[in-house]
A and B are shown apart, each in its own frame.
Chain A
Amino acid sequence: MNKREILNKKFNDIVSYAYTNVPFYINLTRAEQDIPVIDKSMIEDERDLMAVQYTYGHQKDMVKVETSGSTGKCMEIYWDKHEHNKSMLPLWIYRYKYYDIKTNDRFCYFYTVGNQEESISGKTFYEETTNALGFSKSNLDSERILQICKMIKEYNPVWMNTQPSIAVLLARCFKKNHLGKPENLRYMELTGEMLFDSVRREIQEIFDCKMANQYGCYEANSIAYECPYGNMHCMEDNIYVEILDDDEQPVMDNQEGNIVITTLNSHVMPFIRYKTGDMGIVEKKHLCKCGNHSPIIRLTSGRISDYAIMRDGSEVSSYVFVRAVELVNRQCENVIKQFRVTQKEHNYFLVDLVLDEEVVDAGIHESEVENIFLQSVNDERLYDTEFEFRYFGGLEPKAGERKLRYFVREI
């Protein structure tokens, strides 16, 4: 079998497995030969039916990850431990192959909630492990950014992994304060948001190192990764990618459409023909000089981070709201299913929430959600701000948007 036949077989195998073993798929109406396209809203109400964790392997071999909520919707994802590791491996291999990044190289990253007790509680804004230094995305005012930049400079990482919006803040701070780039820094990986050329140039100018764009999601881990020739190659060992039009029909090569993925290595919670909410173009026939023959994907719309603007003109990263939602969900059994924060005035925000009715019925009150949310918004520039909470049965993207944006600024 050639590579294409192997991938088709993997796709057919996981589809067949899912439609035989996973209640969510078994319950889906399926015409002969037709595999339905699904999206996050369909899964939300069927979470218990999506995973086969009680029948597949043992509980101790399970890994649970939570979607960051940066799409405005929160979800728990279950993996078999070995399959989770397997899905992470291609990205490590390509980092090494393309950019000579090894697993023990020192690196810096940014987190929403953190992995250590003190960083989760917000007592510290950073966490350190053997070869990594992580920083909180919250409270990134100019003073904190400068503090972080100095720490990065001193830590002297070989590489950094961050969102483009944060990389820009760092670049501007390094430039403004004449810090000079960390000597050992030779690679930056940008992920989690659309990467625009202007942003890339601004980051490149300051850090003067190799840069790669990585496109992924918690449901699948890495979907595509940029080679040194500037092409984002699909991670075919992990993912089967399709581009479909709004009628869910495949588009021609090089035509824009909805990005739909199928996870090939996830038997506990398989995602079969899952609409990511992003738009893109796929080029299957190409002769990329890097030698990787897997399809090239170009994102045409995706997640965009934004800032709340304070009266003094300073910018507060909207990740502060993602963090607040994640902390509410940690303490309240994932009660928030969807959210959107809208800045109406400098000191007035609307917080639109969709709560899980079962969790509410089990005794989690709206007031508790609001209190934890407000306590978790840990940027002092927001302390004197008014937040008005509103509750809905569901939230839809606004007109002209493909994907629900979790933060909207109207000033």
Chain B
Amino acid sequence: MNIDKALREILKDMVNDETLKEKVDTEDNPDFMKDLEFDSVDIMRFVIELEEQFGIRITEESNFIDILTDLRSVRTWLEMRQL
């Protein structure tokens, strides 16, 4: 599975604005709060989507706050879990 592509699909489904959808596609490493304007509720929705699609509980991690900042940190965490 292409993790990067799957994550971008989840993010695109979550944002309504076309400009933000474009950012998901074009930004190398979109920051959830600063670039995609997510609030804490949006990030929780993202967490639940992640768990449903990947079957992994990110909330078990002690540093989940640091992981849930941008696309790259989530992708890196998922890749390490799947090794």
Contacts and interface: CB of A to CB of B under 8 A. Distances in A.
B41 interface: yes
B63 A89 contact: no
B34 A89 contact: no
A35 interface: no
B65 A103 contact: no
Contacts, number: 49
Interface string A280-307: 0000000000011100000000000000
Interface string A80-94: 011001101110111
Interface residues of B, number: 19
A102 interface: yes
Given A82-B33, A82-B34, A92 B44 contact: yes
Contact of B40 (A85, A102, A104, A293): A85
Contact of A89 (B48, B60, B62, B65): B65
Nearest to A3: B62
B45 A103 contact: yes
Contacts of B57: 97
B63 A93 contact: no
Summarize A's interface: helix, strand, loop or mixed. Answer: helix
A262 to B, nearest CB: 16
Contacts of A3: 62-63
Nearest to A293: B62
A96 interface: yes
B62 A103 contact: no
A96 B44 contact: yes
Contacts of A90: 65
B54 interface: no
A103 B33 contact: no
A86 B44 contact: no
B15 interface: no
Contacts of A93: 44, 47, 59, 64-65
Residue among A6, A88, A103 with max Cβ neighbours from chain B (10 Å): A103
B71 interface: no
Interface of A: 3, 6, 81-82, 85-86, 88-90, 92-94, 96-97, 102-104, 237, 291-293
